[in-house]
Amino acid sequence: MDNLLQAVQARANQEEPWLVVITTDHGHIDEGGHGGDSARERASFVIAHGVGRQNPQWPQSFEPHELVSLLLAERAK
């Protein structure tokens, strides 16, 4: 993760438009659940933030398999 952050910081003054996207592969429960069948363990989140560009106008909720299409559509803009 440090290498990634250093690479982003090194380009911070290049005035390039960026879309930073953070997500998880699944949820978690405090008791230590990992990838179980409960809704909370199956849920995930996506954070998308535009730098030097607008934030994407994505639906409030979507299925995990739809993320790739959303990202590719943003890339095409």
Q: Kindly report, residue by residue over 9-21, the tens digit of the pLDDT.
A: 888 778 888 888 9
Q: Which residues lie below 8 Å from residue 62, measured CB to CB, with a gap of 6+?
A: 70
Instruction: Give the whole-angstrom CA distance, residue 53 versus residue 74.
Output: 11
Q: Judge if pTM exceeds 0.85.
A: no
Q: What is the pLDDT of residue 33?
A: 65
Of the candidates 37, 48, 44, the residue with the CA atom closest to the CA atom of residue 71: 48
Q: Kindly report, residue by residue over 26-57, the tens digit of the pLDDT.
A: 888 778 766 678 888 888 899 999 888 899 99
Domain spans of the chain, in order of start: 15-76
* 50 phi, psi to nearest 5 deg: -85, 135
